[in-house]
Structure 1
Amino acid sequence: MPPWSLISPASRGIGFALAKRVLQETNAPVVVTARKDLDKTKEELLDGTNIDESRLRVLKLDVLDESTIADAAAECKKHFDPKNHTLQLAFMVPGILFPEKAPAQIDAEKALLTFRTNTIGPMLMIKHFSPFLPKKNASRNNGDEMKGLPSIATAAVMSARVGSISDNSLGGWYSYRASKAGVNQLVKTFDNHLKTSSGDNAMAVALHPGTVKTDLSKDFWGNVKKEKLFERDWVAERLIDVVTEVGVEGRGKCWDWDGKEVPP
């Protein structure tokens, strides 16, 4: 069963870097998503590479609109029917941040948008894309098509260290922290499902990328030590290494860019 990969969204930030890295380091088809400017996203991902553009498919998807998630999944089924193909690597990385330093700064609408984007968005993606992961009785992929891909089909959802309840010693960022704690619970729950449906053929993990030079974190770069402020391309490389190396023993947990577990 030939493998394929999914990165959503991939128009900018870490998602873009992950998509470019997966395209460069693997041989299998890659599906990425964007809310708009699909042709521009494809052009920018292929720019400066010698990648066969037939390997890359860009689909419209907005995690705030479940119909677009369903449509993207339906389009994938046309090309990668789960009976004949395996979603071997999926990165679900939507993210938004409104920092609240004190309770008085909490805004209900912004908090709701944070949860809809960071937590419910990946939840709905799992709903529509989990059927593409291999079942328990599926044969393992091997051969050249598996180059650079994890041996166990993996769904990776972007979390954050601030989503750790036991590691929270500073407070603040109420909505963002809570949404990422929700991601960790989502991943654990989904992985329990995969243990039943897929056995050791598929698993789910959460990821902490560190502080990366993206639009999401730009307002806080000045508060981060230079050696702890990462370039997105370097982080993408590290996260892919972590996903391919963590193994079945690391399923259902949150892992940082350095391959260390983030406590719940």
Structure 2
Amino acid sequence: MSGALPVMGDIGQDFSCAAVFGASGGIGKALVEGLAAGGVSKIHAGSRSGAALESDGIIPFRFDYDDPASIADAVEGMGENPPALVIVATGVLTLDDGSGPEKSFKQIEPEVMARTLMLNTVGPALVAKHMLPLFPRNRRSVFAALSARVGSISDNRLGGWHSYRASKAALNMLIRNYAIELGRTHEQATVVGLHPGTVDTRLSEPFQGNVPESQLFTPERSANHLLDVISALTPTDSGKCFDWKGEEIPA
């Protein structure tokens, strides 16, 4: 990716229809709002509850990674004109029971690792399984999944957070795999991972103590940055991971 990022508002010129999986979370909700503000006329907004913002053009749907059939049903319900922009805004750092992230390999528990991989890696993979085949072959399309800088193997200097790091590294590998496969038939498609920065949400709340105020984003600020990055993507960026500034994160 090169050049200055576009200003908000460009994204509606490229995509008339989009889908956000994880639309009830802090970043996901902000992404739905940003897409609507950017001129996207139809937004499929998915969550486990099936609830979403009530606004013209926002279509709520239910999905649950623990119920793979719900993903297939949701995609089938998107009609004959499916979205050419899909954003997976789901993810977990600490499980509902308070488990994770591990600071030492001595803390590894198979159930915690399996659950983290399910939510951070397998779930987005299932969304891609059903959404990518619907992408148009004759125009631009983008599949973007929220990843994390800590999923970079070459950039890892601190260690720890084993399950979370592993799940995001695995997600980044799948993004690369899907980009290669989709590129064989969809020359204008782009598949990327996106690092949203440190965002003031429930996911990051226990770990914000050492984050400078200037580096702690509101969900709205992060979402606007991410949508600007998406607007600037080209097929040559497919298979890569970018941060909120549009800078590539090494694998």
Structures share fold, TM-score greater than 0.5:
yes
Q: Does 1:221 align with 2:208?
A: yes
1:203 aligned residue: 190
State the partner residue of 1:75.
Answer: 77
- Whether 2:127 is the aligned partner of 1:125: answer yes
Looking at structure 1, the residues matched to 86 and 238 of structure 2 have their Cα atoms a distance apart, in angstroms, of: 14
Q: What residue is the counterpart of 2:64 in the other structure?
A: 62
- TM-score for both structures, normalised by structure 1: 0.84
Aligned partner of 1:14 in structure 2 is 27
Q: Which residue of 1 aligns with 2:199?
A: 212
State whether structure 2 residue 233 is matched by structure 1 residue 246: yes
2 CA distance for matches of 1:256 and 1:262? 7
Give the SS at the match of 2:60: strand
Give the structure 1 partner of residue 143 of structure 2.
155
Contact 1:123 1:186 in 2 (8 A): yes
Compute the displacement of 1:26 (Å).
1.7
The correspondence of residues 63-212 of structure 1 with structure 2, limited to 5 A, is 63-76=65-78, 79=79, 81=80, 85=81, 87-97=83-93, 98-135=100-137, 138=138, 140=139, 152-199=140-187, 201-212=188-199
List runs of 5+ in structure 2 lacking aligned partners: 1-14, 94-99
**Cα deviation code 1:37-64 (max 9, x no counterpart):** 52xx233xx4xxxxxx2x1110000122
Shift of 1:100: 0.5
Contact 1:3/1:86, CA 8 A, preserved across alignment: no
CA contact (8 A) 1:119 1:183 kept: yes
One-letter amino acid matched to 2:90: P
Structure 1 residues 36-55: aligned runs within 5 Å: 36=49, 38=51, 41-43=52-54, 46=55, 53=56, 55=57
The whole-number CA distance in structure 1 between the counterparts of 2:105 and 2:29 is 34
Under a length normalisation based on structure 2, what TM-score does the superposition of the two structures give? 0.88
Residue identity in the other structure for 1:95: G
Q: What is the aligned partner in structure 2 of residue 24 from structure 1?
A: 37
2:50, 2:63 within 8 Å by CA — same for their partners in 1? no
The answer to whether structure 1 residue 231 and structure 2 residue 218 are counterparts is: yes
Percent identity over paired residues: 39
Listed as ranges, the gaps of 5+ residues in structure 1 are: 47-52, 141-151
Q: Amino acid of the residue matched to residue 132 of structure 1?
A: L
CA contact (8 A) 2:180 2:239 kept: yes
In structure 2, C-alpha distance between the alignment counterparts of 1:111 and 1:258, rounded to whole Å: 30
Question: What's 2:11 paired with?
Answer: none
Preserved contact between residue 207 and residue 254 of structure 1 (Cα < 8 Å): yes
Q: When the two structures are aligned, how many residues end up with a matched partner?
A: 232
Quote the Cα distance in structure 1 between the aligned partners of 2:50 and 2:191.
Answer: 30
Q: Give the match's secondary structure for 2:208.
A: helix
CA distance in structure 1 between the aligned counterparts of 2:142 and 2:24, rounded to whole angstroms = 21
